Amino acid sequence: MNVLSLFDGMSCGQIALNNLGIKVDKYFASEIDKYAMEIAKKNFPDIIHVGNVEFVTKSMLNNKIDLIIGGSPCQGFSRAGKGLNFEDPRSKLFFEFVRLIKECRPKYFMLENVKMNKESRDIISEYLGVEPIYIDSALLSAQTRKRYYWTNIPNISEPIDKGVILKDIIQTTEELKGSEVDERMVTNKGKAYCLTARYSGATWWNSIERSQRTMIRIEDKVCFPEATKKGYVAAGIGQGIDIQYPNSQTRRGRLLKEKSHCIQAGSVNQGIINEKYNWRKLTPIECERLQTVPDNYTEGVSNSQRYRMLGNGWTIEVIKHILDKLKEK
């Protein structure tokens, strides 16, 4: 099988195919990020990088393509972005995916993208000729990551929940020995007067505390402000807290009991409460496990680059679930 992967990133598609035991003769990858390409090449030396998708043509590949896969840039569609949809130049790169399907005429294709409005979803469906299947990675991993998948691979259904939870992917104390860990001290005031609704009504020193360290330990819980009637969320050892936008007056759902939130390309603001009652940022290996990527797959570049490419990547178990049907063909 010859594969063309567009917007390939760190070659999540190749990880999935390799794990499924599907023989790949040639894997062409269109990518422009040097760090992602470096990691892909480290793990798959035979990968053939073909550069910017806008300049990829059937003639330059000089091979019959059996499968085209890709996740075109999502910033224009994502709720985390500005919601420009197809007005965002990055979103328009979807049409390069369409162009190469028409040129290469593969037997199968698969496109992944974020949750988006119905109008944009219908446009993509019209061009590809198929309706998407909506899959949450939480069914197969410890991460909530809701995505649409357009594919002409038949008989794709929602996967069965494997019951993977956050504590299953957390590195042990032994595994963390010798590692640099982003650990933040939590103030132990032992009093609950700072935990009024929205953290308001506090004394002057607590206002300073709120701006410098937003997490406070109360007995066996670590508390963090949240826009609810209670005004805060409390996490115990082994549970997580999302500290993105720490000064937000509207943020909810910060407590990570069983699943992490969707990791993003920009930064990782999710972490767990460790045995010292400190908040610890999720490590690159733990984020690899959230994406069901092999441990240390992204090793070799800075941690910031590792977090970024994992946030841009795919949940391998979801891609395996879809591509597994190819084994029946």
As annotated, the active-site residues are 74
Cβ–Cβ < 8 Å for 51, 32: yes
Location of structure tokens 């990547």: 313
Smallest Cα–Cα separation from 67: which of 17, 3, 140, 115?
Answer: 3
The amino acid present at 49, given as its one-letter code, is H
Pairing of strands 279-281, 270-273: antiparallel
Determine the 3-state secondary structure of 265 from DSSP.
coil
Token pair recorded at residue 220 = 């066996």
| CB-based contact 306:35 (threshold 8 Å) | no
76, 85 Cβ separation under 8 angstroms? yes
240-242 and 255-256 beta bridge pairing: antiparallel
Does the CA dihedral 287-220-234-245 come out positive or negative? negative
Q: Exposure of 169 by Cβ count < 10 A (0-12 exposed, 13-18 middle, 19+ buried)?
A: buried
Residue from 114, 151, 108, 148 nearest 129 by CA? 151
Structure tokens at 34: 């040097």
